[in-house]
Amino acid sequence: MSEKLVKEIPPKSEDISKWYISVIRKADLVDYAPVKGMMVIKPAGYAIWENIQKILDKEFKKTGHTNAYFPLLIPESLLNKEAEHVEGFSPEVAWVTMGGSEELEERLAIRPTSESIICSMYSKWIMSWRDLPVLINQWVNVLRWEKVTRPFLRTTEFLWQEGHTAHRNKEEAMEETLRIINIYKNFIENVLAIPVIMGKKSDKERFAGAVETYTVEALMPDGKALQAGTSHYLGENFSKAFDIRYEDKDNILKYVHQTSWGVSTRLIGGLVLTHGDDNGLVIPPKVAPTQVIIIPISRGNWKESVLPVAEKVKETLENEDIRVKLDEREEYTPGWKFSEWEMRGVPLRIEIGPKDIEKNQVVLVSRVDREKRFISIEKLVDEVRKFLDDIQNSLFEKAKKFRDEHTKSTEDLEEFKKYMKEGRGFIKAPWCGDEKCELKIKEETTATIRTIGEEAKEGQKCIICGKPAKFVPFFAKSY
């Protein structure tokens, strides 16, 4: 039975798209909803999102942010107030035109993002410099009418958090923008074990309505970049559109400077792609809903001899805040359970059999490489923690090694095109800063600027036009 489970997952190296869909379905993370492009996040998938939410929410609150909730429906007149913003989102907006059997006087947008509705409220709440800063976040769903969808990675409806803050000046708002993008970077690398590059978006790629957009970009095993999180400095663009002004200490009315930022359930898709293998999911311990699965070996009078010890081990780990489950089902063999929990990505397995009882030990098995460690029960907690840390670190280092090996530099356009066609990954190449050259690269290779990167060195020429380069961006194809 264990072999059958593995064979039902196509090899990751042969067709990563089929592999991805197979893994998220067989690991019971998600199912397709009746509406095209929408997904049902099942308990196993939602448990990962809950851990993401719990950890990030704690980080936000450490820096003074509080949670609120704003309406799902946005009047069209509000959405239209910031021209660049509405133009950027108009192809993806879904509209409500009927209320029951009556046609509405004004169309209502189902939120694609919440800047407009939140700004309309901030214009009421902010009067004085004493009211600032406003540091609010919300955990909600949004809807964007996507043409091509894939569960978690791009769906019509998805879950996210969106922070919206208001400040007295540019300096404070920029400090906030950079603080948040660093929180994202640290979380994605240290918790999800996914290495990212952090930097600023080009003007063409920045968020609609923003002055500056900062991003964290991860490289997936197929060589495509995944935008994992963004933080935007909005300047006065929205405050002028929505008349959000405050009386400063000098008694002069001034417009607030704003930020917005968010990550979504896309992170789950990135986690699956980055760490999963031909046996299924591999979930980093820090975010795994179940960090340890205990499997008693059901031989002989195992219920009297092995099961009580397994229950004691479970209790010991639970008391140390380790997320643990005991699989005592009689209808499945230990071998079947090994494959089942491997497919579900549990980082660490504990096997306990009659011979282990005699030796007062348990067997620890890593999901990553099936490394076994024989541990005395007295040292169990410390050794489990150490093994989980080792697994967490090994996942990050493996992903970082892949990212580094698939990051190239070139100043030759033909070499750039060849790599994008045959190898993929991040390419660092000099660019003059002109949007026309940026568009030409996209037209010829489908690669886009993921982050602007470092400033160009003296003498470097734009890979397209040959003029002096200003930057050396990271280019990649993307999801």
Quickly list H helices, 63-169.
Answer: 76-79, 83-89, 115-125
Range of the domain at 176: 2-275
Whether residues 109 and 145 share a domain: the answer is yes
Please report which helix (H) or strand (E) contains residue 345, including its range. Answer: none
Whether residues 82 and 45 share a domain: the answer is yes
| pLDDT tens profile 419-432 | 998 878 999 999 99
Task: Tell me what pLDDT residue 84 has.
Answer: 78
pLDDT band for position 347 (50/70/90)?
A: very high
pLDDT band for position 51 (50/70/90)?
A: very high
| pLDDT tens profile 166-211 | 999 999 999 999 999 999 999 999 999 999 999 999 999 999 999 9
Measure the CA–CA gap between 453 and 432, rounded to whole angstroms: 13
CATH number of the domain at 355, please.
Answer: 3.40.50.800
Domain stops at, among 322, 354, 388: 388
Whether residues 124 and 24 share a domain: the answer is yes
394 found inside a domain? no
CATH number of the domain at 207, please.
Answer: 3.30.930.10
On the question of a cis peptide bond just before residue 133, with omega within 30 degrees of 0, the verdict is: yes
Whether residues 455 and 323 share a domain: the answer is no
Cα end-to-end distance, the chain, whole Å: 35
| pLDDT tens profile 135-172 | 999 999 999 998 889 999 999 999 999 999 999 999 99
Whether residues 179 and 328 share a domain: the answer is no
pLDDT at 83 over 80: no
The answer to whether residues 156 and 37 touch, using CB atoms and an 8 Å cutoff, is yes
458 found inside a domain? yes
| pLDDT tens profile 286-314 | 999 999 999 999 877 888 889 999 999 99
pLDDT at 2 over 70: no
R_g of the chain, CA atoms, integer Å: 25
Whether residues 383 and 411 share a domain: the answer is no
Domain stops at, among 361, 388, 415: 388
pLDDT band for position 91 (50/70/90)?
A: confident
Whether residues 122 and 190 share a domain: the answer is yes
286 found inside a domain? no
| pLDDT tens profile 109-131 | 999 999 999 999 999 999 999 99
pLDDT at 4 over 70: no
Angle between helices 380-405 and 307-319 (to 10 degrees): 70
Whether residues 271 and 300 share a domain: the answer is no
281 found inside a domain? no
- When divided into structural domains, the chain yields a total of 3
- Report angle CA 8, 265, 322 to the nearest 5 degrees: 75
Measure the CA–CA gap between 256 and 234, rounded to whole angstroms: 10
What mean pLDDT, rounded, does the chain reach? 95
Cβ-Cβ contacts under 8 Å for 112 (sequence gap 6 or more): 89, 92, 93, 142, 143, 144
Whether residues 130 and 221 share a domain: the answer is yes
Measure the CA–CA gap between 86 and 364, rounded to whole angstroms: 54
pLDDT average, residue stretch 442-457: 95
| pLDDT tens profile 241-270 | 999 999 999 999 999 999 999 999 999 999
pLDDT band for position 7 (50/70/90)?
A: low
The residue type found at 165 is T
pLDDT band for position 1 (50/70/90)?
A: very low
284 found inside a domain? no
Task: Tell me what pLDDT residue 422 has.
Answer: 86
Task: Tell me what pLDDT residue 327 has.
Answer: 96
Whether residues 268 and 303 share a domain: the answer is no
Give me the percent of the chain exceeding a pLDDT of 70.
Answer: 99
Task: Tell me what pLDDT residue 301 has.
Answer: 84
DSSP string, 235-246: ETHHHHHHT-EE
Task: Tell me what pLDDT residue 142 has.
Answer: 96
pLDDT average, residue stretch 433-453: 96
Tokens at residue 62, please?
């450490």
Domain stops at, among 247, 275, 303: 275
CATH number of the domain at 421, please.
Answer: 3.30.110.30
pLDDT at 30 over 50: yes
280 found inside a domain? no
Whether residues 246 and 164 share a domain: the answer is yes
310 found inside a domain? yes
298 found inside a domain? yes
Whether residues 80 and 199 share a domain: the answer is yes
pLDDT average, residue stretch 402-430: 94
